[in-house]
Amino acid sequence: MNTIRPYTQIIDRLKAAKLRPTRQRLALSKLLFERGDRHVTAEQLHADVMAAGIKVSLATVYNNLHQFTGAGLLREVVVDSGRSYFDTNTTSHFHFFHEASGELEDIPVDDLVLGALPKLPKNTSVKRVDVIIRVR
Amino acid sequence: MNTIRPYTQIIDRLKAAKLRPTRQRLALSKLLFERGDRHVTAEQLHADVMAAGIKVSLATVYNNLHQFTGAGLLREVVVDSGRSYFDTNTTSHFHFFHEASGELEDIPVDDLVLGALPKLPKNTSVKRVDVIIRVR
DNA sequence: ATAGCTGCAAATGCTTTGCAAGGCC
DNA sequence: GGCCTTGCAAAGCATTTGCAGCTAT
């Protein structure tokens, strides 16, 4: 059957983020957070959720991806100008980008260690460090 | 005066890249390659070249930026989905990105050393490593 | 009841493309 | 002359926004 059951765990997570567990949001959350680490584009997630039989507009997918990102449940990874990936792994880690397939792959944390950070520009603090190894 | 003199050095560089030294291409080259390291967007460069009194269309700026990139004279840096920077420094180095101003800044090579690269996915080779430290 | 969500379609912003006219070799 | 370049305007694409109607609490 195609109904999405309202999993307590996900609902609690959404409540903690002050996001109402609507039908659409629940469906998206299930796809994102119950399948392990994922790297999805808005289009892909939209296709997924439609395939699961839940009607959600693409605009709503975008809105939710950004709300999740704002709440710290997702991390946005920019690879191309013109395409954003959303990563369900919000811990500090880096990526391989496969130019041929357009896929993102996590780099195991221990496999790439950054040396000491450089001296930062005056009056700034680090918001995030992005490392992308482009392979083909 | 506003005329751009056809600098031999630049012309040779263009010839080596099999790009005809047209008036527009020369003007763009001068702005890009005679001012030290620069990080420009297509829009910025277009504004610069217009300010220098040479009429160049935005499409031509894009075309040339890509031709230069293809010829290895520039390097494209993706920071945002929806905005591309072109870097005149084509040597291996990393960047600070100032979120507030939208500016890119080179990190001195010695200031950030990458540890050993991780094991690559099967049948792949590294095309490029991008490191962006986002500060605010 | 009401603040928050959603869907749709239109708008946006950057970038690319098609094609006729122009310029370099 | 022939081929590369350019300019313009139109098209493309991913993403955002405005707003009327819906829904969770």
Q: Could you read off the pLDDT of A75-126 as tens digits, one per residue?
A: 999 998 889 999 999 999 999 999 989 999 999 988 888 888 999 999 999 9
Question: Which pLDDT value is given to residue B68?
Answer: 98
Cβ within 7 Å of nucleic strand D, residues: A 15, 20-23, 41-43, 58-59, 62-63, 66, 82-84; B 18-20, 22, 24-25, 55-57, 59-60, 63-64, 81-82
Question: Which pLDDT value is given to residue A5?
Answer: 55
User: B115 to chain A: which residues are within 8 Å by CB?
Assistant: 112-115
Average pLDDT over chain A reads 93
Please give the Cα distance from B77 to B130 (Å, whole number). 8
Q: B112, A107: Cβ pair inside 8 Å?
A: no
Question: Which pLDDT value is given to residue A6?
Answer: 53
Whether residue A122 lies within 8 A of chain B, CB to CB, comes out as: no
Q: What is the pLDDT along chain B (136 residues), one digit of tens a residue?
A: 444 555 788 999 999 999 999 999 999 999 999 988 999 999 999 999 999 999 999 999 999 999 999 999 999 999 988 889 999 999 999 999 999 899 999 999 888 888 889 999 999 999 999 999 999 9
State the CB neighbour count (10 A cutoff) for residue A74. 23
Beta bridge partners of B94: B107
- Residue entry with tokens 């005149």: B88
Cα-based distances in Å from A136 to A60, A133, B68, B71: 34, 10, 22, 19
Closest CA to A26 of A2, A7, A50: A7
Out of B126, B128, B136, closest to residue A125 by CB: B136
Q: Which domains does chain B have, with CATH numbers?
A: 8-135 (1.10.10.10)
Q: Model confidence over A28-86: pLDDT tens digits?
A: 999 999 988 999 999 999 999 999 999 999 999 999 999 999 999 999 999 988 899 99
Res A127 pLDDT > 60: yes
Residue pair A49/A28 in contact (Cβ under 8 Å)? The answer is: yes
